[in-house]
Structure 1
């Protein structure tokens, strides 16, 4: 593994449950020859004690703690095995056999997460810790992207959508169907444009914050310039990936609605409407199932420098057998992010309505339009909310990717070597 966030090539780390780096040394070592066998000292310890020969240690001096075969004599009954500290139970701090039976030693933690399979709380804590430890870089990236995208959204809402909303009064009984469809089409195009603007901002934030989170796992700082230089070559592919996933999602919903639309066009309006609802629901379920399977494609594309198709296949392979777990963690992170964003943005929304002079009631009037004061004040709340939600959602996705690769491909061994952890995976048996 090199020092870049790309870590390891997917071809060298199959996601089939095999854990590379474990067991190879045993296959390569043959049985000891007569010349290489263990040579015991002539001075053996008294009966009832078990310790390694001291070798070059001066007479009467005990070996260092944690080295050899026990460190201290067993304290169990009649010198039994495994009682007290020094019992025969597991690797000691320095690779000896001096720890009691009490589970494996703590995993190395060079960065924001321990290098072992993670729990839900550790994934969420890792995302928050990344934001806390690298707050200058994380908040700088989030603030810049949120401000740029929100300024464009405010201008578009104030200059385009307000004019569209005032063009036709949809509550007017004398309005013609053509005018209604034209107004609705213009509004849909406007909201679609806002969605595209937000999508571009999300893509940029995801790309840059993926690099930051991957470095945080190794315990290494990263500047905004370094994150940009590393992420820039993959930005077009990442944008293409997200657009493709959106097309798949809406395509499945539309396909599910087609039978109902056909039935409604044939004259059975009630049955057609019911069939449209059922079809959209079925298409939405399939879309959610696919989106969870492809949810790790974004960090795969950014960190492994893969193409769109390869990243989607890799994500499917990593999620296989863990769909519900990945879905639950992603759903929890989304709920937390949206809740935080709503809590932050709601006061700005009400204050903006009051400062605009029309009051909160104006928000319920679809034909009143949105004043510039309201748009600016509520936009400030959206920027602050995005500064918090961008790092959480991107961090959880990246750490889920890391966790799945640790579970399936022993990525913890690669990460430990890249972070400079000495002896990781040999003495401690890490990665299990």
Structure 2
């Protein structure tokens, strides 16, 4: 096991004649069982944490307003909130449809599985997590460090946008406030793509956090635009899949539960198809049923678990294509 990753060059030279998308799904299908077994601890932790959080919120304030949306968002508001009750439609991309929550913590073990399979080495659930556990501190600390580096300029620009909106434009001219917001978003996207291979650098090359971020930057250099376009397509696919699942779920709720009946007319109209191009339908209830919240929480986690291996396969393939000669890789 110690030398299983000693030669990344062989994996980097894998055949490219097969289309990338078919290759991703073929690999997902071939290793489906092992991928899900490795994710199981993170799925359980995510389910326990989220269920406990929303259950406590529900019990602590039984009169709170609850908003459920086709983007997967679940939000609670205080009784005195000015949030209107009922169905509301909006247009715009919503962050909840893009991420995979706690399942980002499974990226390193998933990447190990993919690497071992390409090396034609057998690996067990226990071995993967044993190797991952050695780098647990780096894995957990990576995101706070990245947010710290990205956060300073982004927060400054968002603050400037808020000041401009409050004191200069009075809601009549969006340009001055919109520009800093767009710049902040561009900075965040730049660093996210630049550091997108850090998981593989930590777990495969046994690097520290800072070294992994530097290594990821080296691997991405010269291919930033290509990686960005791939991540953008995958993100949009994630959004469409997530929106479809939650849209159909809320439509089902509207049929079987009277509390959700107002959603039926909206989701059975043309607005349902608008969900796939950035639309969102949400319902705010004075007393959302616990079972409805529970189903939405569980679906969120299952969707994240479905998507996590796809992200892991894509980023690990990109890593293997860019990792270079065997001497550049360090055995875990």
TM-score normalised by structure 2 residue count: 0.72
Match of 1:378 among 278, 293, 296: 296
**What secondary structure does 1:222 align onto?**
coil
Q: In 2 relative to 1, CA 125–6 (structure 1 residues): closer, same or farther, beyond 3 Å?
A: farther
Mind listing any 5+ residue stretches in structure 2 that lack a counterpart?
65-75, 85-95, 264-280
Q: Does 1:169 align with 2:66?
A: no
How many angstroms does 1:7 deviate by? 4.8
Match in the other structure for 1:258: 159
Alignment CA distance shift 1:385-1:220 (3 Å): same
Q: Choose which of 317, 324, 329 in structure 1 pairs with 2:230.
A: 329
CA–CA distance in structure 2, aligned partners of residues 311 and 235 of structure 1 = 14
How far apart are residue 165 of structure 1 and its match? 1.8
Structure 1 residue runs of 4 or more that deviate by more than 6 Å after TM superposition: none
Alignment match, 1:400: 318
Structure 2 Cα separation of the partners of residues 224 and 390 of structure 1: 17
Distance 1:288 1:282 in 2: 10
Unaligned runs of 5+ in 1: 9-19, 21-107, 173-193, 419-432
Distance 1:347 1:234 in 2: 40
Match of 2:139 in 1: 238
- The alpha carbon displacement at 1:367 in A equals 4.6
1:4 matches 2:4: yes
Counterparts in 2 of 1:55-70, with a 5 A limit?
Answer: none
Q: How many residues align?
A: 287
After superposition, residues 18-417 of structure 1 pair within 5 angstroms as: 115-116=13-14, 118=16, 121-122=19-20, 124-160=21-57, 163=64, 164-171=76-83, 199=101, 201-263=102-164, 269-270=170-171, 274-361=175-262, 364-405=282-323, 409-411=324-326
Q: Deviations over 1:109-158 (max 9, x none)?
A: xxxx7834747933x44433332222221122334433431342233224
Would the alpha carbon gap of residues 271 and 243 (structure 1) be closer, same or farther in structure 2, given more than 3 Å must change? farther
> Judging changes above 3 Å, is the alpha-carbon distance between structure 1 residues 318 and 115 closer, same or farther for their aligned structure 2 residues?
same
Q: CA deviation at 1:279?
A: 0.2
Distance 1:171 1:332, change over 3 A: closer
The alpha-carbon deviation at position 6 of structure 1 amounts to 6.3
Partner SS, residue 332 of structure 1: helix
> The residue matched to 1:169 in structure 2 has which SS?
coil
Mapped to 2, the partners of 1:247 and 1:335 lie a distance apart of 26
Alpha carbons of structure 1 residues 292 and 118: separation in structure 2 relative to 1, 3 Å: farther
- C-alpha separation between the residues in 2 aligned to 1:264 and 1:332? 32
Residue 318 (structure 1) shift: 0.9
Moved more, 272-281 or 391-400: 272-281
Correspondence for 1:71: none
**Distance apart, 1:225 and its partner CA:** 1.0
Bigger Rg, structure 1 or 2? 1
Which structure has the highest helix share of the two? 2
Instruction: Determine if contact 2:100/2:308 at 8 Å carries over to the other structure.
Output: no
Output the aligned Cα RMSD: 3.6
